[in-house]
Every structure is written in structure tokens, then in C-alpha cells.
Amino acid sequence: MIKQIIKLVTTISLAIAIIISSSLLVSPTVFAEPKPMCNQPIQSGTCQADFSRYAFDGERCVLFSFGGCEGNENNFMTQGDCQQTCLGESKRVDQANTPEQICAQPIQSGTCQADFSRYAFDGNQCVPFSFGGCEGNENNFTALEDCQETCIVQAEN
């Protein structure tokens, strides 16, 4: 009986040692540094087009207006592309805001000096504003109709 107990304790101890050592083999989650393109400055470019793009500002992906030429690689078609590239899949916490969240964001002209005509939702209506070209938010529409479809239709439902 004692031999059986010793054998059982040895087996259990061995099983515990295997579990502990295998858990040590699993590397902890390490977030990779952003790719080099994500460390480039936000550049609107020198041309006069008005393309809504996303760039990484060191902390998050922000909306900016791309002029169409002479920018750099920190220039993504969608917020999701920017987040996946610069934050990694595991850090994507603010993906796909709902229309309610978008329309509740404050109007942000941004810190750049361009003068793009845009529309934003302000309480109960879409209003025009001047967008400087970078560091805005999602409450930033190139067409009045887009603002109305996103914010006013949602507010009525």
C-alpha cells in the first residue's frame, strides 16, 4: 500500500513538473514595435486632392487628408489597415466605431494648415467646417450626404 502511495505521489509530482515546465516554454505576449513606416511623420503631400486616409501618430491611427502625391508610407486607406500594421491585431481596441460613436465625436479641425471643406455632425445637424488635413477624427465627412446618412438617419432610428 505504501509503495502504491509513493508511486502515485511520484506520478503526480512528475505530472506537475511537466505542466510547470511546459508553461514556461510558452513565451509571454510581446507587442512588436511598430513597423518603420508607422514612425514616419504624417504628410499631407504637396498636391491639392482631398483623399481621406489614416496615419499612425505614435499612439493611435488618426484621420488626415492626403493631397494625392509626395507623401510617405504612413498613409493607409482604412483605419483597420493602419491599426493592423502599426498596432498589431492584438491591440486593435477601437475598431469599427458605431455611427452613434462617430457622430458623438467633437468637431476637430486638426493641427495642419490645409483648408478642406468638410461636414461634421453637431448635436442635431450636419454642419460645414474647415479641416486642416491631419489629426481629425471620424466625425469628418467629405460630402453633406455622407454625414446625413451616417448621423441623421441614425438619430431618427
Determine the CATH number of domain 33-94. Answer: 4.10.410.10
CATH fold match for the domains 33-94 and 97-157: yes
Amino acid at 54: Y
Q: Which run of H or E residues covers position 85? A: helix 79-86
CA atoms within 13 A on the CB side of 51: 18
**Domain boundaries of the chain, sorted by first residue:** 33-94, 97-157
pTM for this predicted structure: 0.49
pLDDT in tens, 78-118: 888 888 889 874 343 444 578 999 999 999 988 787 888 99
Nearest to 57 by CA among 130, 120, 111: 111
Q: Where are the beta strands (DSSP E) in the chain?
A: 51-56, 61-66, 116-121, 126-131
CB 102 within 8 A of CB 136: no
Amino acid at 81: D
pLDDT in tens, 27-65: 333 344 568 899 999 999 989 888 889 999 888 888 889
Cα torsion angle, 73, 78, 79, 84, sign: negative
Query: What topology is assigned to 97-157 in CATH?
Result: Factor Xa Inhibitor (4.10.410)
Q: Rg of the chain's alpha carbons, rounded to an integer?
A: 25
